[in-house]
Amino acid sequence: MENLDILICIIAVASILGQAMLPKLRHFIMVSGASFCLLLVWIKTGSILEPLKEVPLDVMIILVGLTLYGDFILKSHLFSGLIKKVSKLCKGNLILVYLFFSILIFLISALLNNYQAVLLLTPALIGILSQLDSVKKSFVSILLGSVIVLSNLGGASMPISDFPALYMFSQGVISFQSYIPSATPLVFIATVLVIITGVIAVRLTAKGEARKTNPISVALTQRLYRNIKIDRYTFTCSFVVFGLMMFFWVIGINPTIVTILGLFLLALLVDKGNYFEEKIKTLDPSIFIFYLSLFTVIATIQSTSLLPLIAEWVRHQSDDPQLLLIIFCTVTVLVTAIVSAGPSTVFLLPVALGFADQYPPNMVIACFAMAICSGSSFFTFSATAGPLVQSLSERYSLSVEGAPLSFGFKEYLLPGVIGSVIIYLVNILYIFIVL
């Protein structure tokens, strides 16, 4: 590699690591890294346009579109009504609280995305936890840790629910009808195992207290959502439009076009575009600035000879197809745990495609998606949901055992590692069974 190529890679990797380790400065770090990398590309080639051509604007459009679509679902108050019902059913029973919220976070992450699912459910969950007089820190760690792991699994269950699968979907690497039978069953098995493990851990941690009820927590949640009524018209419109979008995705119509037209139709149906206008005005651009900078950094790496070298290294690790795929998945898990899901997906996907033709159709992509999910569940900074849960625990003043609790790296580490290992082992078992 040339000296400038080495320098580009160093700055790019430092930026990716820096934003993962310092999430409060992630946007500044990524924008700075992208700027320096483009400057070096300009010095090397005399142009900065070439790497920018590799930035997947279609993914950006789909991310914006699905985020806005999720806001229409939230406007219908469907999930607020669900939380109200769930609280009434749980009545402070810790196992039921864990079970219901675990299932809810998975389903909402699968239908919307994990960011919105965590943003929607965590405040209500914190309100319930803060009112339970019998709850312990260990239970909170299990519950909120499972929220992060299961939101990652929910995002991986559909090709439109989280960035890694969405990126592969938009790039034409996988289709809707090929992703579902290949990856979704693996995700479902891992989800069931994570929930079962969580229930066992809750029983061991809570001991006899899991059977206690706490009417205060129920009253709090009922009061919080007492005036909430489901907007049936908005819900029906959102449900019908989403069903149409699913149909066209499945039959292979361009996902970007489907997203744009579906969102346009929904905007016209709900409040004649006025609600859409308000959401556009208040849309938080930070996540898109982050991904634009991320894509730029990755594009500058792709302009060097690093990726071909890595692909060549992976191919020469073993002549055994089974061992080769296990090595690649293990590397993917470790890289994702350190630099998070977005960078590792864009960075390692070309490597995966380089040897995918040696395996049954879609197998490498399914294993790659599971490895990304495993790695992004490892640490709090490995995925968007981790820093978000920590931020929400501080914003809504989570109190446990009479003291404030910020759910951070230490509290998440054990449930995160266990969840990550479960997903990894399901992936490895799949490789052993198929090959």
Residues 161-190: tens digit of each pLDDT:
788 888 888 888 888 888 999 999 999 999
% of the chain surpassing 90 pLDDT:
23
In the predicted model, residues of the chain with pLDDT beneath 70 are 1, 20, 79-84, 86-88, 90-92, 130-134, 206-228, 307, 311, 315, 318, 384, 401-402
Closest residue by Cα to residue 297 from 7, 34, 6? 34
d(CA 285, CA 304): 30
**Residue 332 placed within a domain:** yes
pTM above 0.75, yes or no: yes
Within 8 A by CB and 6+ apart from 312, the residues are none
Distance CA 40, CA 300 (A): 9
Structural domain of 106 = 57-434
Does residue 329 lie within any of the structural domains?
Answer: yes
Q: Measure the CA–CA gap between 2 and 253, rounded to whole angstroms.
A: 42
Is 18 among the domain residues? no
The verdict on residue 28 lying in a domain is no
Residue 26, domain member (yes or no): no
The answer to whether residue 340 is domain-embedded is yes
* 379 part of a folded domain: yes
Q: What are phi and psi of 161, to 5 degrees?
A: -100, -15
pLDDT at residue 196, rounded to an integer: 95
Classify 246 as helix, strand or coil.
helix
Question: In total, how many domains does the chain have?
Answer: 1
**pLDDT at residue 216 in the model:** 47
pLDDT of residue 211: 46
- What is the pLDDT at residue 223? 57
Question: What whole-number distance in Å separates Cα of residue 330 and Cα of residue 334?
Answer: 6
pLDDT of 222 reads 54
Residue 14 in domain: no
